[in-house]
């Protein structure tokens, strides 16, 4: 029988599986709450609570969650100072309240208190980590953002290296000799077929400048921890 060739469909399946190795870690990071929704609400409206308790209900709406979309932080300039224009880091993280919380309906979008939001898009809250009230929580959110970006960067590098390997060969067997852990990314039907074929030992000369050891560590971690 013929050897297993790299079709477009097989390459797509391998890349999909390479990306999916990181899904458990990314999902776990999204579930990780660097702060609580109640903490956010307390800084936003805690100082007005005595007013909120006595004002009529029609002035508020109740929400079960809040989404922090962006965090503003210092922008260091070329002179080791700080520019007046902040850097925007996108967070897009949902926080669920322990119980529904009231939100003023008529609040104008303003960053004077270190935060702003649009009532027409409740998922659009922005936090200014440079504001005194938000420095601690802002740092926690930025640390979370950095940790997630490290996972995404590792994922991107791993997927790109996987593409390099599978695009460097026309058939599966020499690619597996170059990187045996590629086996873990193959669809089951491809594995079954590879075990039944008779390989024609035609060596494909390819030189790859990749850190195979690091790629092996990633696949091994996924197998041992379920991807976490």
Which pLDDT band, with edges at 50, 70 and 90, does 29 fall under? very high
Determine the average pLDDT of the residues in 195-216.
Answer: 70
Q: Which residue has the tokens 């390479």?
A: 18
Give the model's pLDDT for residue 19: 96
What is the Cα–Cα distance from 114 to 72, expressed in whole angstroms?
9
Give the model's pLDDT for residue 79: 47
Residue-wise pLDDT for 67-90, tens only, equals 888 898 887 654 455 556 778 888
What is the Cα–Cα distance from 111 to 134, expressed in whole angstroms?
11
Q: Is a pLDDT exceeding 90 seen at residue 58?
A: no
Q: Helices 37-45 and 135-168 sit at what angle, rounded to 10 degrees?
A: 140
Q: Is a pLDDT exceeding 70 seen at residue 106?
A: no
60 DSSP 8-state letter:
E
Paired with 68 in beta bridges are 93, 125
Give the model's pLDDT for residue 216: 81
Give the model's pLDDT for residue 1: 42
Between strands 82-104 and 115-118, the pairing is unpaired
Highest-pLDDT range among 66-75, 104-113, 206-215: 66-75
Sheet containing 60-76: give its strands across. 82-104, 60-76, 121-128, 115-118
Give φ, ψ of 119 to 5 degrees: -70, -20
Paired with 164 in beta bridges are none
| Higher pLDDT pick, 44 / 183 | 183
Residue-wise pLDDT for 110-155, tens only, equals 667 788 765 555 557 888 898 899 999 999 999 999 999 999 999 9
């Amino acid at each position: 029988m013929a050897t297993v060739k790299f079709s477009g469909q097989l390459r797509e399946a391998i890349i999909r599986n390479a990306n999916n190795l990181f899904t458990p870690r990314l999902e776990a990071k999204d579930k990780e709450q660097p702060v609580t929704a109640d903490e956010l609400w307390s800084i936003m409206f805690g100082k007005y609570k005595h007013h909120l308790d006595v004002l009529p209900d029609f002035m508020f709406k109740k929400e079960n969650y809040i989404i922090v979309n962006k965090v503003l932080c210092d922008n260091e300039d070329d002179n080791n100072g700080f520019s007046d224009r902040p850097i925007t880091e996108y967070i897009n993280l949902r926080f669920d309240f322990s119980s529904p919380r009231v939100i003023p309906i008529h609040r104008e979008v303003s960053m004077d208190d270190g935060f702003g939001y649009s009532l027409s898009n409740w998922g659009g809250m922005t936090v200014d980590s440079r504001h005194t009230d938000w420095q601690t929580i802002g740092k926690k959110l930025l640390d979370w953002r950095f940790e997630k970006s490290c996972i995404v960067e590792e994922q991107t590098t791993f997927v790109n290296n996987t593409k390099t390997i599978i695009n460097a060969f026309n058939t599966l067997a020499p690619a597996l000799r170059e990187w045996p852990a590629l086996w873990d990314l193959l669809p089951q039907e491809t594995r079954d077929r590879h075990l039944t074929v008779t390989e024609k030992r035609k060596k494909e000369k390819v030189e790859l400048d990749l850190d195979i050891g690091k790629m092996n560590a990633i696949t091994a971690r996924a197998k041992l921890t379920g991807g976490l």
